Structure 1
Amino acid sequence: SVEGNRSVLSYKVVLGLWIALWYWFLSVFKPSEAYLVDYLIDDKKFSSEQVYQDIFPVWTYSYFAFVVILALVAEFVSYKNVIIVGTVSLWLACLLLLVPTTYTENNSYLYVMYVDEWLEGLGSASGVVFSSYLYLLVPEPYFIKITSYSRSAQLLSSVISAFLGTAMITFISLESSVWATLAALSLGMVLSFFLVNVSQRPGFALKSNMKDVFTAMKNWTNLKWLLWSAAFLAVHQLALTYIQSLW
């Protein structure tokens, strides 16, 4: 049935949206995020130079590489499967932070952190695939609404997890916030297996997309916006990664 120009969503799609939004809420629910540097330095005994020069750059570069790779892979192995792999990667990355050892006790723990950041980069990149997944889940007239819903879920999760993280750091311990993050990721990982499978729209085929991209790049206005967006994303991600060094 149709209301105006907007088709009514089926029960399956509505249920899929609820699962997807709860999944997204849990996936970005990270009480330990703002205190990761403190945790690595105070609890895991890394130096600040190791954190900023050896550990974090692995995430920075792996993230940008995986964004491109996963966007292409999702076209062939389904968006749901890529999201599941990304969620499992985030869960494993969080689990590695809880390995009961420190750098001073075992120097090879630095290599574990390399793997941790590689997994974190993979998981973070899957978030881009999830955004595309949402737009394949609903008809085009609902794109604006689904954007507002997903952004609201993300912001609400960030605010609540930030308050929870502050409370846990103040009254319990740094490590407790990491356990809370792991618990949220565990629930999100379970939900990822219940995400609704989506199929490509006719206009979303990879070959068609690549042709559209090359056509768009011939337009200088589009190219300027693309370069600006890429620069903004790069600076934003670097700021998120290294801002704690300024505090």
Structure 2
Amino acid sequence: MATLYPTILLCVYGFFSSTRPSEPFLTLYLTGPDQNLTETQVVNEIFPIWTYSYLLLLFPVFLATDYLCYKPVLVLQATSLVVTYVMLWKARGVLAMQLLEFFYGLATATEVAYYSYIYSVVEPENYKRVTAYCRSVALFGSAAGSLIGQLLFSMAGVELLYLVIITLVSATVAFSAPWFLPMPKRSLFFHKNPRATEDSPSRRSCSSQIDKVEDLQSQVSMLSRSSGAGAQNGGLLEVLKMLLKDLVQCYKSRPLLTWSVWWALATCGYFQIINYAQPLWETVRSSPDDSVYNGYVETLSTLLGALAALLVGYLPVSWSRWGELALCVLSMLMAVCVFVMDLLKNIWVCYSSYVVFRATYMLLITVVTYQIAASLSMQRYALVFGVNTFGALLLQTLLTVIVVDSSGLNLNVTTQFLIYGGYFAMISVIFLLAGLYRLASMRGSKEEGLDDVQAESSSSSNNDVTRSM
């Protein structure tokens, strides 16, 4: 019962906070009569604020989450979501929408509290099951929200403004849930549970394959479980020293470093694609009167991505041997999808390419997640997950400043996608070279080992001849 009550509340919160019928139509709403903004204002002046605020707030929010024992930050996230959709409903103008993006960045950064709260009130033996419940419910809420929005928009003729209001109602329902959660008495390193052990078997795997599928914002939340062994009620300096020490220890492993580099590079590009796909779709549509099916596309891509992630466990691939080449081939597939979306100028081809792109990314990020987690304790792989995602956000910020922002190149969305396609092609080339180098190294090691065996055999034969004489 002690576990059931907070789990139910967290599932309610996760479902309703992720149910956003207006999300697939955000660009259409902002450029439509309700907001009357231009595509340039939306793409180059408003959307980049989310990236900047997310990166800026991520690390201080992560520390505050553990220090304040999660619940206050969870309430802050719920409040931020409500403020976001109230502003989307009532506020007007570029400056107001930029402020809205800041609050949405705050809501994204504070998502750390949702996933880390679980580990403060649930016993270690229940981590995996409760995490699966919460993440699956959030994923289902996201897919359900996109589907509901599409059905209301295309079949019932509901105006986009009312989809925003429905999303606000869902966020308001979610807002009520965290207030009833019990206040944790421990956290993972500022207020450490003395019974916790770093290598406890029940802590080594806290999420199933489907847990590792989605939107990478939830991956950031795993950072809150970062290495805290020995930091009982420790200060900030001690915590930072432990994080740095564990981080250096983790990245000494070459395979782990390889997987982490792909994580950061690919996630940066993935964030850019999903952030700016809707503006591209608006330019590809041949007429403003054409039917819009963004909701169906988001629903299908979410569900197929989850299915692709589940298939990872059944693929007969030696990822430790062929991983770099697999990353090369599938990264090139993602590059092709981006180029096709941008160049063919057909909305159905664009939709299909987006679904393939997103499903491919979810499959690969699951493989990468598993490969990293397999060799580390829970606390260490949580640290690596968080730092990898922070690296992705840092790269995304640089890419946004240079390519998207009005103070940078200020490129239109079509040109941006050409650059993003080239970016994924570059990732593919990097891992092609890494894969070839690895295979050459393995072959060299085998030949060296064979030479050693032959030399040893020859020496043994000579010794036998000498003794016989």
- TM-score tier by shorter-chain length is 0.7 to 0.9
- Cα distance in 1 for partners of 2:50, 2:95 equals 13
For residues 1-247 of structure 1, the aligned pairs below 5 Å read 11-42=1-32, 43-99=34-90, 102=92, 109-170=93-154, 171-198=157-184, 199-201=186-188, 202=192, 204=228, 205=231, 207-208=238-239, 210-218=241-249, 219-221=251-253, 222-247=256-281
Cα displacement (A) at 1:210: 4.5
Cα displacement (A) at 1:141: 2.1
Letter in 2 for 1:90: L
CA contact (8 A) 1:31 1:162 kept: yes
Map Cα deviations across residues 188-241 of structure 1 (whole Å, 9 max, x no partner): 111121122222143644635751542332333344444443334433322221
Q: Give the equivalent residue in structure 2 for 1:106.
A: none
Letter in 2 for 1:216: L
CA contact (8 A) 2:152 2:158 kept: yes
Cα displacement (A) at 1:12: 2.5
- Cα distance in 2 for partners of 1:194, 1:19 equals 8
Q: Which moved more, 1:177-186 or 1:187-196?
A: 187-196
Q: Do the aligned partners of residues 178 and 149 (structure 1) sit closer, same or farther apart at CA in structure 2, a change above 3 Å counting?
A: same
Q: Give the equivalent residue in structure 2 for 1:4.
A: none
Q: Do the aligned partners of residues 56 and 224 (structure 1) sit closer, same or farther apart at CA in structure 2, a change above 3 Å counting?
A: same
Which runs of 5 or more structure 2 residues have no equivalent in the other structure?
Answer: 197-227, 282-469
Q: Do the aligned partners of residues 137 and 233 (structure 1) sit closer, same or farther apart at CA in structure 2, a change above 3 Å counting?
A: farther
Aligned residues: 230
Cα displacement (A) at 1:172: 1.2
- Cα distance in 2 for partners of 1:231, 1:159 equals 26
Cα displacement (A) at 1:69: 1.6
Letter in 1 for 2:62: A
Q: Which moved more, 1:222-231 or 1:170-179?
A: 222-231
- Cα distance in 2 for partners of 1:182, 1:173 equals 15
- Determine helix, strand or coil for the equivalent of 1:12: coil
- Cα distance in 2 for partners of 1:116, 1:212 equals 33
Compute the TM-score of the two structures, normalised by the length of structure 1.
0.85
Letter in 1 for 2:86: L
Map Cα deviations across residues 84-137 of structure 1 (whole Å, 9 max, x no partner): 11110111011001116x5xxxxxx21111110000000011112311222222
- Cα distance in 2 for partners of 1:226, 1:214 equals 17
Cα displacement (A) at 1:151: 2.1
- Cα distance in 2 for partners of 1:66, 1:16 equals 27
Q: Give the equivalent residue in structure 2 for 1:8.
A: none
Identify the structure with bigger relative contact order (alpha carbons < 8 Å, sequence gap 6+).
1
CA contact (8 A) 1:169 1:176 kept: no
Map Cα deviations across residues 139-191 of structure 1 (whole Å, 9 max, x no partner): 22222212221221012111211111012222211111101100000011111
- Cα distance in 2 for partners of 1:73, 1:61 equals 19
CA contact (8 A) 1:87 1:189 kept: yes
